[in-house]
Structure formats: structure tokens, C-alpha cells
A and B are shown apart, each in its own frame.
Chain A
Amino acid sequence: AQTVTQSQPEMSVQEAETVTLSCTYDTSESDYYLFWYKQPPSRQMILVIRQEAYKQQNATENRFSVNFQKAAKSFSLKISDSQLGDAAMYFCAYRSLNTNAGKSTFGDGTTLTVKP
């Protein structure tokens, strides 16, 4: 079974600065997807960015980018020019392309605080 580990329960960043959230995962599969979700206090999970394992190029979405290291099974999220609205819980998730496709395994999250 796949596992996802987020080793930083809490992180803080000054507004306009850059922060990196860490995620590692364990799998024996070669093809899969990785995701970062944002969960504000309202609890609605919002997709931030996703990465296909077969792509070597790191995904980017505006101020959000990832550092995907397949061999190390590492998938970190970098938030540039942090804004107050970025404050939330961030979850890393893994989804297999093979068995139970569509079932996502989530880490336990990192709470991000943005200081004005």
C-alpha cells in the first residue's frame, strides 16, 4: 500500500516571501499522479497543483511550483510571493494509475501560517 508523509505539521512564512512544504511517499509503482491540495477553514479541498510521474518537468501554476524527485520519492511544494490568502492546511496526495485508480492517499497535512 502507498503511504504519504508530510513531516512538517506547521510552517510559517512572512507575506511576500517564499516557503517550501515537504512531502515524501512510498510506492512500488512506476506510474502515478501526485497532488497538492489546499484546505482552508471552510474544509473544502481545492486542488493546487498536480504532477504526472512520467513527466520529468516540474509542474508550475502561477506562484506554486513543485520539486519532484522521483528516485527519492519526494514531492515538495514551493509557494512564492506568499499572500495572506495562502494560509490554510496543505495536503499532499498520491493516486495510482493502476489498481483502484482514482483512490487518493493523503498525508496528514501541513498548516501554513502567513504573517503580515
Chain B
Amino acid sequence: EAGVAQSPRYKIIEKRQSVAFWCNPISGHATLYWYQQILGQGPKLLIQFQNNGVVDDSQLPKDRFSAERLKGVDSTLKIQPAKLEDSAVYLCASSLRTSGGNTIYFGEGSWLTVV
């Protein structure tokens, strides 16, 4: 079974530039998550989708971050304009359903450095 795919794996941009990350979840998984992991910290949920609807985006900085999941499959996360503090690993994850007992499977992450 293919895992959660993410691209690009690494990106270096200058502040105020824009960047987009792509995620393809495990086939059949209805729930998709984007996490931000700053070095030395645990992952923080940015946004959670159930199919193509948003379940939770309470911690998404909406003035610069946006995410979409068209057709309820793959998803993109965009940052525009980027700030230095956005340097982090962006982890995409998916689960079969939203309920708490479902295992969340993570991708390898997209490393962002803002200079």
C-alpha cells in the first residue's frame, strides 16, 4: 500500500516569496491533515479536511496560509507571503476517518527554509 506522498521535500525561499506544498493521501482516506513542525517542537495542526470540507482550521494563519482539497483527494498548502518564522517541516497526514481511534499516517514532510 502506497503511503502519504508529499512534494517538494525541500524548499528554500526568500521572505515575502510564496511557496506551495502538495500532498496525496493514502487511497480511500477521507481525512487529511496538515501539520507544522518547528525545529525542537511537536507538530501543530494547521488544518484538517474531511473529504473536501474543512473540519478544523483554527490554528491556520489565514492572512498568509491557505489550503484546499479539491475533489476530496490530494491537497495543496500555500504560504504567501512567507516569513522567517514559517521555516519548519510541513507534515501531511491522512486517516481513514476522523474518529479518534483511527490511525493517522504521516508523509515524510516538506522542509521549508525561509531566508
Interface residues of A in 1-60 (CB under 8 A from B): 4, 32-33, 42-47, 50, 52
Chain B residues with a Cβ closer than 8 Å to the other chain, count: 29
**Interface stretch among B11-19, B69-77, B79-87, B106-114?**
B106-114
Whose C-beta in chain B lies nearest to the C-beta of A94? B100
Q: Which residues of A contact B55 (CB under 8 A)?
A: 100, 102
Q: Which residues of B contact A93 (CB under 8 A)?
A: 42
Q: What 0/1 pattern do residues 88 to 116 of A give for CB contact below 8 A with B?
A: 00010101110011111011110000000
CA–CA, A64 and B115, complex, Å: 41
Q: Which residues of B contact A43 (CB under 8 A)?
A: 37, 89, 91, 108-109, 111
B61 at the interface (CB under 8 A from A): no
Instruction: Using known A-B contacts A43-B91, A45-B106, determine if residue A91 contacts B100 with beta carbons closer than 8 Å.
Output: no
Q: Are B100 and A97 in contact (CB under 8 A)?
A: yes
CA–CA, A32 and B107, complex, Å: 24
B38 CB to closest chain A CB (Å) equals 10
Q: Are A96 and B100 in contact (CB under 8 A)?
A: yes
A36 CB to closest chain B CB (Å) equals 12
B60 at the interface (CB under 8 A from A): no
Complex A-B, nearest 5 residue pairs according to Cβ-Cβ distance, in ascending order: A106-B42, A45-B106, A102-B98, A43-B109, A97-B100
B contact residues vs A (CB 8 Å cutoff):
31, 33, 37, 40-45, 48, 55-56, 89, 91, 93, 95, 97-104, 106-109, 111
Contacts A4-B42, A43-B111 known; list 17 others, CB within 8 Å.
A43-B109, A44-B108, A45-B91, A45-B106, A50-B103, A52-B101, A96-B100, A97-B101, A101-B98, A102-B48, A102-B100, A102-B102, A102-B104, A104-B45, A104-B104, A107-B42, A108-B42
